[in-house]
Amino acid sequence: MRSFFQRKGRVVLVVLLIVVAGTSIKAYSDKDKYFEIAKNLDIFAAFYRELNTYYVDDLPPEKLMHKGIDAMLEETDPYTDFIPEENLDELKFMATGKYGGVGVSVNTDSGRTVITDIYEGSPMHKAGARPGDIIVSLDGKKAQGMDQDEISHLLKGVPGTPLEMVLKNPVTGEETAKKILREEINVRPVSYAGMTGNDIGYIRMTQFTENSGEAVQKSFEDLKKDHPGMKGMILDLRGNPGGLLDEAVLVANIFVDKNKLIVSTKGKVKNWDRDYRTEDAAVDARIPLVVLTNRSSASASEIVAGAVQDLDRGVIVGQRSFGKGLVQTTRPLPYNAKLKVTTAKYYTPSGRCIQAIDYSHRSEEGEAEIVPDSMRRAFTTAAGRKVKDGGGIEPDDVVDPTLLSQVAVTLIRKLYIFDYATQYYYQHPSIAAAGKFSLSEDDFSDFMHYLDGRNYSYKTRSEEALESFQNTARKEKYYDAVAKEFDALQQKMKHDKKQDLLKNKVEIKHLLEEEIVNRYYLQRGRIEKSLTTDNEVNEAVAVLHQPDRYQKLLQ
């Protein structure tokens, strides 16, 4: 018995020695690391001092240092960034959705700067400006020749400061001088809330900024109050780049009951690791729910979609999300600068991290790589469904994205749809309600006449593929043997622009209707009109109208 305790004591002693040795190794490793940092900082400072003193030409210190910072940032992920004092407004906007300005979006080319969208209730809206108006000058400076950044800089500014502007009517050419006071523009996180049909609610969320959880909750409660027969809810997170993690938890809490894990964060600083749970009772934990995602749904959007999926609270419809499973924190730097640094990865309730690109392990060329499907691990939802990490949120019901035809893309890019909508607005004092407006056959014929003589040449995807084949065949010296057949095929595929307009008439008509509605009802009207032809929304409505199918997707 005594020998057992003696042996046991030796075992304990050995374990203690190993633990102490491990601690010593770690301490030594940390000490060694900090020595290397201090050493290289000294070398960097001395190098810059000598270079600045003896180099033949003057070196701008700010530019040189920023290049050094940019080189360091290349070793990190794209979300870790240095933010100088002059760019803090951008950081504030990402967190709050607020900025100082006049509330417009513009499009600038070599010939003109045209107002494309006006924020409802903004100074420009109050001043009577309309989409399609042309900006002639800003504070006495001619807008023609300025690039988009210059125009944007002049439009923004401290709330309360004046902006003198000259606008030109796009139809009459009449110029009007306006003096506008900039205000704090608060871009609402809910761009639209309404009903699709009689019984399905719809909320589109554009970003996760301060108080966005509260805004979504109010929109949902208002819809329930105004439509007591509501049978389902669609939360549209398509194109939503994310934002504040806390707000994502609050949005999830609207539909998920109290004390449910929504997301966990884990990083190098273990004291910062945290589980985020719902703190309040859900507004409605039972209403059938669909969340829409696409390739541009990222970050906080994926936290909400991931929680809804992992807790089997609703169905995800659309396309796979972006795959950003990283958390950023801002740290103060001297002279009011900031470091936005990735400090953790986040994990959905099932334990998966949906980060799609691995920045910690790079190729020999130094490029970060997408996590391959073979390396993605399986996890299970609360009900036992399989879900995977490493590649965003995969929908429960996949809907292929809608791709515009080449002719439609060209008409948008050249602003022909935009300009026709402006012309239509000045010819028609009023139109039907946004959701009910429709162009007549005569209107579409008029649009085709409007395009007469205008250049909207383009290559179809088939022509691009044929041209690629021709280039490859020439390189490989096969082209001469198939030249006749190639020419014959090229002639057969040669597109007729008017025929392309007719072939894609439905698509072009929808685009025209949305742009025209924007002239009368602004962004809210555009969204309302778009819902009538939105494939993902229509699929979501179909799922919510079929309880058996909805439940099957959750099994």
Asked if residue 324 lies in contact with residue 302, where contact means CB atoms within 8 angstroms, the answer is: yes
- Give the bridge partners for 115, in sequence order: 106
Q: How many alpha carbons lie under 13 Å from residue 87 in its C-beta half-sphere?
A: 9
φ, ψ for residue 250 (rounded to 5)? -65, -40
Round to whole Å and give the CA distance between 148 and 132.
Answer: 16
Structure tokens at 158: 């401290």
- Check: CB of residue 508 under 8 Å from CB of residue 407: yes
Which amino acid is located at 131 in the chain?
P
Distance CA 313, CA 307 (A): 8
**Annotated catalytic residue, options 168, 260, 324, 529:** 324
Does the active-site annotation cover 77? no
Alpha helices in 385-531 (DSSP H): 406-413, 416-427, 441-451, 461-475, 479-493, 497-503, 505-530
CB 134 within 8 A of CB 104: no
> H or E stretch including 152?
helix 148-155
How many beta carbons lie within 10 A of that of residue 432, not counting itself? 10
Annotated catalytic residue 3: no
| Token pair of 14 as six digits | 């050995």
Active site residue 299: yes
Reading the block at residue 69, the tokens are: 């910072």
For the record, the structure tokens of 48 come out as 């810059």
CA angle 457/461/463 to nearest 5° reads 70
Q: Which of 81, 310, 396, 534 is catalytic?
A: 310
Which one of 219, 299, 321, 530 is the catalytic residue?
299
Residues acting as catalytic residues: 299, 310, 324
